Amino acid sequence: MGRSPATSHRVALREERNLRVSTAVAMWVAGAATLAGGTLLGATDPGRESLTWALALTGMAMAVVTALVFPRVSMRTLVVLTNVCCAIGGGFIAIGAALTGGAASPFFELFLFTSLYAAYFFSRRSLALHLLLYAAAVLTVVLLEPADDAGHTAARLLIIGAGALAIGTVISWHRGRLLEAEARARRQALRDPLTGLHNLRSLRAEVEATPLDGGAALLLLDVDNFKGVNSHFGHTGADRLLTALGQELTAAAGDGACVARIGGDEFVVLVRDHDADRLQALIAGCEEAAGRARAATGLPGPDLTASVGTAAWPRDGDDLSALLDAADRDMLARKHASRRGRVDTALGALAARPHAGHQRTLTAVEQAPAPVPSGRVASWLRSRPSRTLAGTAGWWTAALAITAVLVLSRGELAAPVMVAGCALFALSAGALLLPFGARYGDRAYLVSDVCAFGGLVLSVALTGGTTSPLLPFVLVPTAINAYFADARQAVIQLVAGILVIATPLLYAMPAERVDYSVRFLALVTTAAILTLVIARNRAELDRAQRQADEQALTDPLTLLPNRRAFSRRLATALADASHETGATVCAAIIDLDNFKRVNDRHGHAAGDLLLRSIGQELERVVREEDTVARVGGDEFAIVAPGTGLDTGRALGERCVAAVEDVARRLGFSACGVSATVGFALYRRDAMTADDLLTAADTALLRAKDAGKRRVAHPERAAA
């Protein structure tokens, strides 16, 4: 089988090269600055100041090397280097911890930042390896220099580990969902909405990914008298036949070929390793595919015929555009030479209509995959917003952390009952956020954030203040809000988090404040960089996804909405109208008459120019709230909310006049280019999108039977 867009052209996900490098630089600068700041404030063990300064200078040197070297290497090398850099960063933090208190060092908090980096930029397998490496580094430092308060230290390291795992899980999971959505949108942008084959954009991307070389050839296939199919079977039958033809061409082309639909009834087959015999066999196979497609649809009448033009690299051109032009000229020459000998008018003599069971309409709403059976609880959880699930996970993880501190402290806490109350409060808050987050949205999240930061202030004070194991948990709501809230809210939450980190300074003794300085710098630096990185990455991903969505919903030739976008717009308009008594929606299908004459006489480049100009003119004659889309080779469609019978007919007449005006301006009047319009109204003619399009298509056929250049409604045709 020929390659599909999903398999033949690998859609590259975002490399984020600059962000990967700049974040690594920030990581080294943050670590070096924190270590240097702690040394200046006297938090380093006596006798180790020189080693600490050397380590800080090493961190700054690594930042310079990263900034200068990493941008110049290939993406594959960069991935390897950043993995190595992140591993070395873990060792840097472990050494810094050994120099600033061992097991009691405040430097361990920086492992949260390296965990964030690994979660965002690396695969899940790499993330797991990095987390194991960090755990081994922490364990080594603790074993070499154990702390006096083993229970308190164990609780603190457990909290850091839980925080790293929670941040890593949330970032990795949610970013994975965004990347999957982006990849899905890009795949749609590289597919023809009707046949599922490559489109012109995808064909170009295929050639860019694997440049043409010796043995490459291009076949351009044009179905003869395809307008007869539209005239006698309607657009429903024509769509079904085009889909079958795409499948037959894919089978005829075989493995290694790229099959694309680049126009209404125009297909391209790109082969990489042709020879004369194979090329002739492929030409014959493509010509026979048209007849097989007609038989596969079950439509009555004689077989279709097709004209095939060829072009070879580099004889006929050294790029895709030149090959397309050469194949187009060859196809037109073959078509003209064989016009009399071919059965080109067989379909024009058909009087039969396709059986209703064979019709295929423009699908108004893309079919969604069947839901996967699951339990009620799992289904209910999947229906919760991502922010709700993340917030609930944060609350419940905090409850477990507070409980762990209570257990591991071995009765050393001043108010164990109050600490237990904090754990119960966190558990209850998570349980309440799960149902109410989806119902009340931002209000529920605001209450949750206020309670989270207030609860952290109290919990930190009850579990040691400057030495509290719970301080790293301030990064959890900060990270969640940076990912899910807007930029303004993310900044507010960052400020709130910094205030929580600073509260122990209000009641700590002077000596405790000096010891807390390194930990304070580490937490504040991590929180700031965490917010910056997450917010920036989220903005870039959202922007990339919007661009991919626009490509997936845009016709690459006319830049109008494509069939997929038209279906969505029609579904939305009908849903809006269903809530208003008496509201109407007009769906119109515009078919260009005699458009094939332009392609046959002047070439496909002239036809493309005419289509682009018609699309621009149609957008000019409709209202701002209307949607004009290109849904086929020479077929356009309009969704016009709030349009009745008289205004719908007037809209169609403006479209007919617009098409003829464009053809006259471009000098194609001699080809007889005009337009026929069929339109139908929601509530008056149909109640569903598919029925509405079928009614409009029926009206279009009646108008063509009456002589073209007309506007028709299902009830009657009008001149």
Rounded to an integer, what distance in angstroms lies between the CA atom of residue 238 and that of residue 359? 9
Enclosing H/E stretch for 389? helix 386-408
**Strand 585-593 vs strand 674-681: parallel, antiparallel, or unpaired?**
antiparallel
Across the beta sheet with 306-312, what order do the strands follow?
Answer: 258-261, 266-271, 217-223, 306-312
Query: Is 126 in a helix, a strand, or coil?
Result: helix
Angle 584-590-596 (CA atoms, 0-180°, nearest 5)? 170
**Token output for 418:** 């109050």
DSSP 466: G
How remote is the C-alpha of 83 from its chain's centroid?
26
Q: Collapsing DSSP states into helix, strand and coil, what is residue 441?
A: coil
Cβ neighbours for 477, distance < 8 A, ≥ 6 positions apart: 391, 394, 449, 452, 453, 493, 497
* E strand spans, 216-272: 217-223, 258-261, 266-271
Please indicate whether residue 634 is annotated as part of the active site. Answer: yes
Residues 6+ apart with CB under 8 A from 293: 241, 244, 245, 247, 248, 304
What residue ranges in 356-480 does DSSP mark as E strands? none
User: Residue 242's closest CA among 258, 219, 221, 257?
Assistant: 221
Q: Give the C-alpha separation, 696 to 676, whole Å.
A: 11
3-state SS assignment for residue 674: strand
User: Cβ(660)–Cβ(674) under 8 Å?
Assistant: yes
CA 378 to chain centre: 25
What b-and-e string marks burial along 238-266, b requiring 16 or more CB atoms within 10 Å of the CB? bbbbbbbbbbbbbebbeeebbbbbbbbbb
CA-CA distance, 157 to 472, in Å (whole number)?
10
Distance between CA atoms of residues 628 and 46, nearest Å: 75
Given a contact cutoff of 8 angstroms between Cβ atoms, the answer to whether 235 and 188 are in contact is no
Closest to 587 (Cα-Cα) out of 646, 637, 657: 637
Token digits of residue 711: 């506007």
| Position 165, amino acid | L
Structure tokens belonging to residue 56: 């800080």
The number of angstroms, rounded, from the C-alpha of 511 to the middle of its chain's C-alpha atoms is: 53
* Residue 268 backbone phi and psi in degrees, to 5: -125, 135
- DSSP letter at 260 equals E
Q: What ranges in 190-226 are assigned the alpha helix state H?
A: 200-209
Q: Which is the catalytic residue, given 634, 646, 691, 697?
A: 634
Token pair for residue 60?
A: 């700054």
Q: Helix (H, G, I), strand (E, B), or coil: what is residue 593?
A: strand
Going by DSSP bridges, is the β-strand pair 674-681/711-713 parallel, antiparallel, or unpaired?
parallel
Give the start-end residues of each E strand in 548-634: 585-593, 627-630
- Listing DSSP states for 396-424 in one string gives HHHHHHHHHHHHHTTT-SS-HHHHHHHHH
The radius of gyration of the chain's CA atoms, rounded to the nearest angstrom, is 33
Q: Burial-class residue 422 by CB neighbours within 10 Å (0-12, 13-18, 19+).
A: buried
d(CA 630, CA 263): 11
Q: Give the residue numbers annotated as catalytic, written as ranges.
A: 634
